[in-house]
Structure 1
Amino acid sequence: MKATANSSFIIELTYAADKASTLTPNETARLLQQAAATIRNYRQQVGHSETPANDCSQGDIVFDLLAMASAVELFSPQKVSALLQEAASTIRACKIIGETGTVSANDP
């Protein structure tokens, strides 16, 4: 996974979170699905043992992202914003883990 591409995507997610009320449902769904795929890819790369890459159980961020993407019209811009921010934070943490191979107590 290219670090530059993911840094750009983190910025895109953060920006979108700030402008969630102006996003179309298609834009929102695309961002949510791409965030889920990015997190899964990182998990596969680092072999994250606590949450398997294919874990789609309720409460997992990948599950939450995909669930919201499938019914984006049902969620308020505030909920969309919060989940996009959480996704950006999770991807940032995954990126650090992937680069350093270590997990900090502050990582999600």
Structure 2
Amino acid sequence: MKTHKAAKHGINVVWFSCDQDNCDYKVKQAINLKRHKRDIHNIGVRWHQCDSCGYVAKQAGNLKRHKRNTHNIGVVVWHQCDSCDYKFKLASNLKKQKRRIHK
């Protein structure tokens, strides 16, 4: 409840500020500051490396997506075009196909 009041209503707000040089980032929740430091300043990063190539990612989900889309490792969900024989690993590519080719 304390976190909710601070985040949503500005009651008893404790600001968390980034301590890196020339960074004015500040947030109401410590987890967001931790995420900022990881993503922007590479502090506290646990790198996830692909064992099939040199790809590295900060987040495990990005590595999982890379393996699935690049190396066909894991569950690959194919998106079949209903107007032709093409199929795509990414739903966004199917949407582009429909928009560009089939209009």
Structure-2-length-normalised TM-score: 0.20
Please identify which structure carries the higher strand content: 2
* Structure number with higher helix proportion: 1
TM-score (norm: length of structure 1): 0.20
Greater Cα radius of gyration, structure 1 or 2: 2
Higher relative contact order (CA 8 A, sep 6+): 1
